[in-house]
Structure 1
Amino acid sequence: MRSASSHFSAPPVQYPVGRGLVLLWGLLALLGSGAAALLHWLLQGAGHSVVRLSVAIFFWLYAAGAVWHFWRHRVRGLLQWDGLQWRLEIDQRGRPAHSLEGALWVRLDLQNQLWVCLDVPDGRSTWLWLERQSAPDRWGDLRRAVYSRPRPDAPGAGEPAAARRTDA
């Protein structure tokens, strides 16, 4: 086994979380396409039943409300990698921030956007949408960090994430 080289280690990085115009536009496009499909369905004669029409409009309004709720309550803060572990400092708008520490997993990589999951040791997961435009000068460092392993001297660095978790 080769020894780890600091040359190949990801640098420490701090990256803002919570902005995300691409995510917003994607969600709005989904809502708009749902509205267009509903309108097409209604214009094709499916609107003769008041019950079907009411149910369809209710589900679209429910989806719109869910998108609005998601957008207003998404996680905002600062994601940090120190070479050993990931930490998320959550900004709670006027209240003291709290932090989560754990393992970060990439779930979707679109080159300029990342959808990641921060698994904390107590079993909770926090999903984050990261975009290059939030901090373009730090994007390369962030991408190196999300795909790097903790330094070998980190506690539990050789164990899989599932083995480091403790069940309550």
Structure 2
Amino acid sequence: MATLIMRRGSHYFSAPPVRYPIGQGSVLLWGMLFLWGAGGAGLWFWLLQGAGDSVARLSVALGVWLCAAGAVVHFWRQRLDGVLQWDGVRWHLEAGPPGDPVHPLKGALWVRLDLQSHLWVCLDEPGGRRTWLWLERQGAPERWGDLRRAVYSRPKPEATPADEPAAARRPPA
């Protein structure tokens, strides 16, 4: 059995700096389309079972399904393209297509779902805004290990308490 021994004074393990591309998420797109299609199949089955004899119920169900389709399209068109960067102290998100002016976002990154080759993360900015990102290994396989180490590492000791998200800070006693 291996034991991890931490030397006195080295309470922080930090990951190397990493830049990781974000944007295209084929697994996310196919998953959203699958859920939307499954909803359509459920609606069709419901209609075949006799629920379609009420025009009001049919209209509401079809309206909800079309709203779900609109939400999928809206979400897909509003996703961010850019580069996620860890400098050892804080996270930066350079969002925007290549060639456009960069609007960097800074904040703390929290993992919300870890599927080993896919990560769903939330970037909490100091102003309270949240940016949700879907990261896939296929974006840059050679840097995936560094990214995974970075999302689970603690900031270097020179990070200030202002760099922590509000939920992690304790109120003064």
TM-score in same-fold range (> 0.5): yes
- CA RMSD of superposed structures (Å): 2.0
How far residue 161 of structure 1 moved from its aligned partner, in angstroms, is: 2.5
Kindly indicate whether residue 33 of structure 2 is the aligned counterpart of residue 31 of structure 1: no
Matched residue type, 1:161: P
Q: 1:115 aligns with which of 105, 112, 120?
A: 120
How far residue 155 of structure 1 moved from its aligned partner, in angstroms, is: 2.5
Residue of structure 1 in register with 2:56 after alignment: 51
Alignment of 1:11-160 (within 5 A): 11-92=16-97, 95-156=100-161, 160=164
Question: What SS does structure 2 have at the residue aligned with 1:96?
Answer: coil
Moved over 4 A (4+): none
Matched residue type, 1:120: E
Q: 1:161 aligns with which of 165, 169, 173?
A: 165
Kindly indicate whether residue 14 of structure 2 is the aligned counterpart of residue 3 of structure 1: no
Q: Distance in 1 between matches of 2:107 and 2:68?
A: 31
How far residue 76 of structure 1 moved from its aligned partner, in angstroms, is: 1.3
Question: What SS does structure 2 have at the residue aligned with 1:101?
Answer: strand
Gaps of 5+ in 2: 1-6
TM-score (normalizing by structure 2):
0.87
TM-score (normalizing by structure 1):
0.89
How far residue 156 of structure 1 moved from its aligned partner, in angstroms, is: 2.7
Q: Distance in 2 between matches of 1:73 and 1:160?
A: 27
Q: Distance in 2 between matches of 1:93 and 1:82?
A: 21
Question: What SS does structure 2 have at the residue aligned with 1:117?
Answer: strand
How far residue 4 of structure 1 moved from its aligned partner, in angstroms, is: 2.6
Gaps of 5+ in 1: none
Question: What SS does structure 2 have at the residue aligned with 1:15?
Answer: strand
Deviation per CA, 1:11-58, whole angstroms, max 9, x where unpaired?
Answer: 100011111001001000000100000000001111001111111111
How far residue 154 of structure 1 moved from its aligned partner, in angstroms, is: 2.2
Q: Distance in 1 between matches of 2:117 and 2:141?
A: 9
How far residue 3 of structure 1 moved from its aligned partner, in angstroms, is: 2.1
Pick closer, same or farther for the CA change 1:12–1:5 going to 2, 3 Å.
Answer: farther
Question: What SS does structure 2 have at the residue aligned with 1:161?
Answer: coil
Aligned length: 162
Q: Distance in 1 between matches of 2:74 and 2:119?
A: 21
Question: What SS does structure 2 have at the residue aligned with 1:102?
Answer: strand
**1:4–1:152 CA contact under 8 A, matched in 2:** no
Pick closer, same or farther for the CA change 1:93–1:82 going to 2, 3 Å.
Answer: closer
**1:117–1:126 CA contact under 8 A, matched in 2:** yes
Deviation per CA, 1:107-149, whole angstroms, max 9, x where unpaired?
Answer: 1111111010001111111010101111111100000000000
